Amino acid sequence: MRDPHSFDEFYRTTAPRLLRYGYAVTGDRDEAQDLVQEAFARAWRHWRTLANHPTPEPWVRLTVSRLATDRWRRLRGWRLAATRAGPAPSSAPPSENTVLLVTALRVLPPAHRQALALHYLFDLSVDEIAEETGVASGTVKSWLSRGRARLATLLSDLAPSSDSEGQQCHTT
Amino acid sequence: MSHDLNDLYAALATDADAVLLPPAHSLRQGADRRARVFTVAVCLLAMVILGGVSVAVRPYFAKVAPSVGSTPPAEIPDFAFLVVPADLVDEDDPLPHEDSEFPRPTETPTVCGSVPDMSLKALERAQITTIKLPQEEVPSGTVAHEIVIFHNDGAARYLAWMRDLLRSGCPVEEGTVPRIVDGEPRGDDSMLVEIANNGEVEGYIWIVRLGDVLTSITVVGPESLSDRAVADRFADLGVAAVRAWLGY
């Protein structure tokens, strides 16, 4: 039997983190909203088994990652349902720093975005990211290194000219 | 403006926190509703594969006598359809629905570029029933039972056409790829089709030929409702009901 109470608690405690992650891997808040709802909907469908999983949050996170790589096709059904339910409530516009970051992130390959988000938002180690993404640690190191380098270039290019002089991108 | 990535991701996290999500109960209800809509959609998809366009076919049935049984049936009665076992009945929606309650295509379907030959079908009828496990909170599965009577060896030819079509591996709907899997033979000829949506098994379609009759039993649902054993169980019930009706 699927226990709605344990699911609701899981949803309440993890949804904010998953939204941050979805935003970081998609670069779009509305898409992140769709992705995360879809991922949790799938989690609820499988909750009977997932509830006994030692780490259900990475399962949902991985679902978000996979959906993000092909989000429009996979989210067609959800989007239709959302349309019928009316538009999502609007939220305040993002900060200048966020706009700068997501603009740069959108240029990066999905794997680089995923690795960077897992590192900077969840503080996962290289080995932990490797385990979650199913690749070798060396690959993760490469993703992080190339991702940071690319972001540094992009952020410098994107920053207002008056601010960019003398600025360094600290990518540690 | 700082370009420290820790700061930038922190800013992103703060902005993400402003995004609203539905309450947990709303999300669960929406997910269950979607699952149910999907299961009905897959059942209808199975009927499109097997049944084609009922509107175009039904005028035949009063004129063409199927060859199964000693007395050609003029209609497909209620008792020809499977009865959902008590342990899977959804008490909130226990009765079967005629497929006419659901939207059907108005044009001849082209499946993977192939158009089925409708001319050999004589009569068809289908029922869709909601099923659920006893401990489930919501109705979350569907069983569809369709019976199609052909003439002039049409059932065997239609089954062969479908078998070739499904072996071609093309999706019949975006994200949904049916494939033939092994199953214990039933009737004169049979085929078991697994329905997967984006890699997740959503259910099974049993298609069984009994003489000039094809019957399909489609079981779709989340978790254990889409188990193979559930599909086999309904297939046995459906085939038994059709055999009892036909005396075959």
Interchain pair A20, B6: CB under 8 A: no
Give contacts of B39 with chain A, Cβ < 8 Å.
none
Please check the confidence at residue B36 and state whether its pLDDT lies above 70. no
Residues 6+ apart with CB under 8 A from A121: A17, A20, A21, A24, B9, B13
Q: How confident is the model at residue B89 (pLDDT cuts 50, 70, 90)?
A: confident
In one letter, which amino acid is A167?
Q
User: Which residue would you say has higher pLDDT here, A50 or B84?
Assistant: B84
Q: What is the pLDDT along chain A (172 residues), one digit of tens a residue?
A: 678 999 999 999 999 999 999 999 998 888 899 889 988 988 887 787 788 888 899 989 988 888 787 554 444 444 444 444 444 555 678 899 999 999 999 899 989 999 999 999 999 999 999 998 889 999 999 999 999 999 999 998 877 654 444 444 455 5
Q: What is the pLDDT of residue B201?
A: 78
Place of tokens 């779709």: B220
Residues 6+ apart with CB under 8 A from A19: A32, A33, A36, B16, B17, B19, B21
User: Residue B16: closest CA among chain A residues belongs to which residue?
Assistant: A20
Q: Which two tokens stand for residue B42?
A: 């897959």
Give how far the C-alpha of residue B147 lies from the chain's centroid of Cα atoms, to the nearest Å: 13
Q: Which two tokens stand for residue B75?
A: 């209609």
Interchain pair A91, B18: CB under 8 A: yes
Interchain pair B21, A33: CB under 8 A: yes
Bridge partners of B131, per DSSP, are B89, B141
Q: Does A37 touch chain B (CB under 8 A)?
A: yes
Q: Suggest the residue from B2, B12, B17 to mutate for an interface test with chain A (most A CBs closer than 10 A).
A: B12
Per the CB < 8 A criterion, the answer to whether B127 and B99 are in contact is yes
Give contacts of B41 with chain A, Cβ < 8 Å.
none
Q: Give the closest-approach CA distance of B202 to chain A in angstroms.
A: 11
Per the CB < 8 A criterion, the answer to whether B175 and B161 are in contact is no
The ipTM of this complex is 0.85
Please tell me what DSSP assigns to residue B89.
B
In the A/B pair of chains, how many CB contacts fall below 8 A? 143
Q: What is the pLDDT of residue A13?
A: 95
Interchain pair A19, B21: CB under 8 A: yes
Enter the pTM of the model: 0.59
Alpha carbons B161 and B170: distance in angstroms, whole number: 14
Alpha carbons B23 and B127: distance in angstroms, whole number: 35
Q: Suggest the residue from A120, A123, A172 to mutate for an interface test with chain B (most B CBs closer than 10 A).
A: A120
Per the CB < 8 A criterion, the answer to whether A43 and A35 are in contact is no
Mean pLDDT of B212-227: 80
> How confident is the prediction for chain B on average, in pLDDT?
76
Q: Suggest the residue from B7, B15, B40, B201 to mutate for an interface test with chain A (most A CBs closer than 10 A).
A: B15
Residues 6+ apart with CB under 8 A from B160: none
Interchain pair B11, A77: CB under 8 A: no
Window 135-164 of A: residues touching B by CB (8 A cutoff) are: 148, 151-152, 155-156, 159-160, 163
User: Sheet holding B141-150: strands in order across?
Assistant: B97-98, B121-131, B141-150, B213-220, B200-210, B189-197, B176-181
Per the CB < 8 A criterion, the answer to whether A10 and A40 are in contact is no
Residues 6+ apart with CB under 8 A from B149: B61, B66, B68, B73, B76, B121, B122, B123, B124, B155, B212, B213
Give contacts of A100 with chain B, Cβ < 8 Å.
1, 8
CA of B69: how far to CAs of B36, B65, B149, B205, in Å? Answer: 37, 11, 12, 25
Q: Does A1 touch chain B (CB under 8 A)?
A: yes
Alpha carbons A153 and A169: distance in angstroms, whole number: 8
